[in-house]
Amino acid sequence: MILDIRDLQHHLSLSVETLRDHYRPLADSSGGWYHELGGEPGATATALALACFAACGEPPDHLDQALRFLREHQQEDGGWPTRTSGSQAVVEATGWITWALARVRCDLRESSPDLYRATRWLIAQQNPDGGWGSMRGAPSRVWLTCLALRALGELDPHAEAVTDGVRWLLDRRVTEPVSQARVWGQNSGERGPTVTHTAFALITLAELRPNDLPRHLPAFAWLTRRLAMDPGNQHKWIETYTVVPENGGAWRLNLWHYGLPLALTALLHHPDGPPVAQVGPALERILEVSPGSHIWGDHTQPGGLPSLWSLWWSLQAVTHVYRQPLFRPDDLVVWLRDAVVIRRGPARRKPLFSLAPALWTAGISRLLRRYWAYAALVLLCALIGGGVLAGWWDGEVFWVGLVIPLALIPLQEAFKSRT
């Protein structure tokens, strides 16, 4: 895969422009964003927009106004509702908002919501089984458990709730019939394993338990195979379910899933290194879609509303690539399975094969400096052996000639031990 870091910068710049163009001020000196960019502001979308600015490395626009909007919509118990949940705070909103504000690191500002109350609310909503549903008592779901865990991981990673939640997440893996890999579906195996839930679970575990990732190699392998089977599929769908609170009433909630950038972000955490054969096409597919374009149909069709969810998931994947160690803004990267060649400065304009002689020369020079005695031994053996074969001297000279080079070996070892 050949990657021009400037293409990633361009995508990030377009994303920031899209966010700036769709901010919506309100009469009370607050304001924010809606998930269908341009509509009346919503709490979850506003927090997510602030996280988008932070992911792009930009100071969030209208930060105080957005924080004031979120503070006004935070309930006394610390949670946030969605528009469809009425006045009932739910994990779908509170998890995203708490995580996003923690990422922006704005909790010390006077206008900021109370993230510590939000943390206590999330912990209080954990079910006895260790997972999270929309609220305490609602069936635990993989996606919502990941949301709550990521939020708590930013603010209170050592909470007992995090340990219990990770245990629940691991216990809810399902076995994929063909490969026997243990992966994740939307709710304890309902609908079978999905790219979306497996990727989100792996991202969550990478943030909370990075040292345990080698245990999940079969899940990474399954995710890699799924992308290889259908590289053009965005794995996009809406998870819809009914929430029935204990105090009565019911409503439907929708979760927007955009699996391709989620899978790319997860594979960048692969313990054996990212599978470049899948990373390259996935990244190209993401960069083809304009930032904020609606993901539920052909983004070229007129009348399609732009989506903040589409913008966010693509940003998450692009920024993970953009911030890989050693990458600089003007680099041209040749990304191989087991190696990365970074071309910068004048080397950007040179053909890759023209750099090979310099690489070979540098490598041979390093080997000679380290193994000069062995090189001398081989050279002398070749010269003396060639002279014997040519009849220049007797075979006895060959054995005598070996004494000197052989004596160089312990001399070299002694020199190495002293250095």
> Domain extents for the chain?
2-345, 371-418
Q: Both tokens of residue 128?
A: 């006895």
Would you call 54 exposed, middle or buried from its count of C-beta atoms within 10 A (0-12, 13-18, 19+)? Answer: middle
- How many Å apart are CA 165 and CA 36, to the nearest integer? 31
For the chain, give percent helix, strand, coil, nearest 5.
55, 10, 35
Q: pLDDT of the chain along its 419 residues, tens only?
A: 788 889 999 999 999 999 999 999 998 889 999 998 878 999 999 999 999 999 999 999 999 999 999 999 999 999 999 988 878 999 999 999 999 999 998 877 888 899 999 999 999 999 999 999 999 999 999 999 999 999 999 998 889 999 999 999 999 999 888 888 999 998 755 668 999 999 999 999 999 999 999 999 999 999 999 999 887 788 888 899 999 887 777 888 888 889 999 999 999 999 998 898 888 889 988 888 888 887 665 444 445 678 899 899 999 999 999 988 888 888 888 877 777 777 777 777 666 555 555 444 555 666 666 676 677 767 777 777 777 777 776 666 555 556 565 666 666 666 655 55
- Topology of domain 2-345, CATH: Glycosyltransferase (1.50.10)
Residue 39's pLDDT is 83
**Its pTM surpasses 0.85:** no
Residue 366's pLDDT is 64
Instruction: Single out the residue of 79, 97, 96, 98 nearest to residue 87, CA to CA.
Output: 79
- How many Å apart are CA 110 and CA 238, to the nearest integer? 37
Residue 189's pLDDT is 54
- Residue 281's contacts (CB-CB under 8 Å, 6 or more residues apart) are 227, 231
- Residue 198's contacts (CB-CB under 8 Å, 6 or more residues apart) are 183, 184, 219, 222, 223, 266
Instruction: Single out the residue of 302, 286, 290, 308 nearest to residue 22, CA to CA.
Output: 308
Residue 132's pLDDT is 97
Strand partners, 210: none
